[in-house]
Amino acid sequence: MSGRFTNRVALVVGAARGIGEAIAESFIEQGARVLIADTEASVGTATAVRLGAPDRCCFVACDISRKSDAERAVTDAVNRYGGLDILVQNAGIYPWTLIENIEPEEWDKVMGVNLKGTYLAARAAIAVMKKKNYGRMVFTSSITGPRVTSPGHGHYSASKAGINGFIKAAALEFSGYGVTVNGVEPGNILTEAIKTERGPAYIQSMQESIPLGRLGTPREVANAVLFLASDEAAYITGTTIIVDGGQTLPEGKDFRITPG
C-alpha cells in the first residue's frame, strides 16, 4: 500500500459502486481513511466492508441533495476519523428525457443531486477545512454539458455545466483557507450502469466516436481524482481534467488516420 495519502481522511459521496467505488478504493490503497456516502445503503455497506476494516473505511447513508445529510456525512467523517482533508462529490443521476417532456419535478431532482448536492457538500466541508487551513475538493462533472451534449440530457447537461461554474467560484472563495477546488470531466466510462442501462449498441456507437477506440474505466477517472487531491496538485485550483479518450477532439466523424 502506498503512503501517498497516509493520515488523510477522505469523504467520497456517491461511492457505493462505479466511478465512486473506484475512487474510494484507490484512496484506501494509498493510505487514506475513507467514509463512503451514498443513498444505496445495502450496496454501500457491502462496498465499505470489501474495501477495508472500520478503521479504514465506513459507510454512511446520504442523500446529498439534502442539507442535513451533507452536514451529517461531514460530521461523521470528523467523528470517526478525526478530521476531513479531502471531499469528492461524485453522486449524480442522468435520466434520459427530451426537454419537451421533462416535468419540473424531474428537472428539480437532477439539479438537486448533481448541482445542489455539489454546493451542499462544499458548504459542509469548508466549515471543517478552513479551521486547519487545508483541504482538497474534487467534483465529478462531465464532458456532457461543459463540452458536448446529446438529446435527452438537457437537465443533466445544465447541471454539469453548472458544476464547472461552481468549481471556479468556490476555488476563488476558498483559496484563502488553503483549500483547492477542482473537477474531473469523464467521457463514456464503462460502468455496470452503462452496460445495463445503455446496452451494447450504445457502447459500440461511443467506441466508434472515441479516438482511443474504447470506453474508459472507473480507475482511469479515479487516477485523475487522486492527482487533484494530492500534494502534487497543490498549485492547481479552479480547473478540470477531461478524461474522455479524446472524444471531444474531432470536428467530425471521419477522424481516423490509416497509416499508408
Residue 19 belongs to domain spanning = 9-241
Active-site residue flag, 156:
yes
Produce one character per residue of 241-252: b if its CB has 16 or more CB atoms within 10 Å, e if not: bbbbbebbeeee
Catalytic position from the list 119, 134, 156, 202: 156
Is 124 within a domain?
yes
Is 252 within a domain?
no
Calculate what percentage of the chain has a pLDDT beyond 90.
89
Is 134 within a domain?
yes
The pTM assigned to this predicted structure is 0.95
CATH code of the domain covering residue 178: 3.40.50.720
172 sits in which H/E element: helix 154-174
Is 4 within a domain?
no
Give the pLDDT score at 153.
Answer: 97
Asked whether residue 1 carries a pLDDT value surpassing 70, the answer given is: no
Asked whether residue 86 carries a pLDDT value surpassing 60, the answer given is: yes
Is 2 within a domain?
no
pLDDT, tens only, 186-210: 999 999 888 887 788 888 988 999 9
Asked whether residue 258 carries a pLDDT value surpassing 70, the answer given is: no
Q: What is the mean pLDDT of residues 83-105?
A: 98
Give the pLDDT score at 174.
Answer: 98
Task: Work out how many domains the chain is built from and give that number.
Answer: 1
Specify the DSSP class assigned to residue 214: S
Half-sphere exposure of 79 (CA within 13 A, CB side): 8
pLDDT, tens only, 149-174: 999 999 999 999 999 999 999 999 99
